[in-house]
Chain A
Amino acid sequence: MFGHFDYQEILRNLPYLMKVGMTFTLTLTGLVVVGGVIFGTLLAMMRLSSIKPLSLLATTYINLMRSVPLVLVIFWFYFLVPYIGAWITGANQPVKVGAFLSSVITFTMFEAAYYAEIMRAGIQSVARGQVWAGYALGLNYWQTMGKIVLPQAFRNMVPILLTQTIVMFQDTSLVYVLSITDFLGAASKVAERDGRLVEMYLFVALVYFVMCIAGSYVVRRLQRRIAIIR
């Protein structure tokens, strides 16, 4: 069964897999966490806003993103981003957008919808009295949000935001459908070149597994450490 298993194959290609593939995956994950949480927080604030059109717009966007598969969203943005680029710059031709930028935009827009729902729960977990206290002190909306509500909302939601980030880290492997060389893409290229599918895919599975298990362990530790004793 494992008689033909070629460990050397993995060792030989390890530098390529890590330097090209894992770097792409981690950079993408990092940028999307930052962009997704910022954009998601804005979406959550819009959704909770008392201005009806804003709230309706955010709700529609979030529900739309959450009801279609990520693979379809990846295709959508892959074709849509060049046209949006042309529209913004006023160019006549669709703008050429690199694979990396295209995936950053796609995942930021998609994950923002999921982060938004987490941040909405976070904002709602802050007692109403805190908001009233802020207004009573003469702070405006942005000051109340920025100095009182959001810091507490973030603190309450950090474990869930991180768990969602682990899910997103796994989901970035779907850029495979655009033939991008992320960690899985790199392994798949090597696997097909050398005809070593078994070794490569098992190794990829193991690496993802170890990284995600380690990630969830860190999240659990953090959860205990930052829990607010009420």
Chain B
Amino acid sequence: MHYHWNWTIFWDMTPEGTGTYLHTLLVGLGWTLATGLAAWVIALVLGSILGVVRTAPVKWAAAIANAYVEVFRNIPLLVQMFLWYFVIPELLPGNLGDSIKQMAPPWASFVPAVLCLGFFTAARVAEQVRAGIMALPSGQRMAGTALGLTLPQTYRYVLLPVVFRIILPPLTSEFLNIIKNSSVALTIGVVELTAAARAMQEFSFQVFEAFTAATLIYIVVNICVVFAMRWVEQRVAVPGFIGRAVAAGGH
């Protein structure tokens, strides 16, 4: 068993001559964060709307939101990625589909990847938001009505400010998930961190150095996110009110 370790490989130039291997990995990290953050915006906005609609007393709207969650949770992320990348442009009316396929290189795969991750994670955020709203005592909603607030006002001023504080911990783990899941985008050609490590491995043959570096970078990102969110939790905490964590599952 012989494996030649070479930890200085990170400072070697890549065959493409665009920079060192370390540079390749950091550019990959940049794409991972860009994909994750852009998708998170979609997931948070759409997920919150869906979560609210699922608890609203409008039967048909709640049914649609529930169906959305079921569909996006029960199809593998990779299959959804292929649907966004290969299938949707074909199903759109002629010109629109073609213009999507002809986007300049990084965007043609970046845009579908962001949409895919955003819509996928929205279903999971919706689940957390719904669980958060259900966890509130029903007296809160009644109090809102008793004060003469309309239903949207009750959500805006009474329920949601508390709900988002309660669900911060599970939302943190969903945000970590979206960063990890962005690695699935390598299948449609986004050169994010895992793909960059894979490229480095193929060019340099230093498999374990490349993957160790990628693993360490993912761990550092994880730790940073956890600390940042803990800080946010402390900043927004209502004195005397300790939020109960809602269980999060899956990955």
Q: Which residues of A contact B (CB under 8 A)?
A: 1-2, 64, 66-72, 75-76, 79-80, 83, 86-87, 91-94, 114, 160, 163-164, 167, 170-171, 173-174, 176-177, 184, 188, 191, 197-198, 201-202, 204-205, 208-209, 212-213, 216
Contact = CB atoms under 8 A, between A and B. Distances in A.
Contacts of A174: 76, 78, 184
Contacts of B73: 212
Nearest to A82: B1
Contacts of A114: 251
Summarize B's interface: helix, strand, loop or mixed: helix
Interface string B177-218: 000111110110000001001100100000110010011001
Q: Which 3 A-B pairs have the closest CB atoms?
A: A69-B183, A212-B74, A170-B76
A171 B74 contact: no
Given A94-B1, A177-B187, A201-B86, 8 more contacts: A72-B194, A79-B208, A164-B249, A171-B251, A176-B78, A197-B86, A201-B83, A205-B83
B216 to A, nearest CB: 10
A84 B251 CA distance: 27
B78 A184 contact: yes
A176 to B, nearest CB: 6
Contact of A72 (B3, B76, B78, B211): B211
Contacts of B172: none
Interface of B: 1-3, 70-71, 73-80, 82-83, 86-87, 90-91, 93, 176, 180-184, 186-187, 194, 197-198, 201, 207-208, 211, 214-215, 218-219, 222, 249-251
Contacts of B86: 191, 197-198, 201
B211 A79 contact: yes
A228 B73 CA distance: 28
B190 to A, nearest CB: 12
Contact of A68 (B1, B75, B219): B219
A72 B250 contact: no
Contacts of A69: 180-184, 194, 218
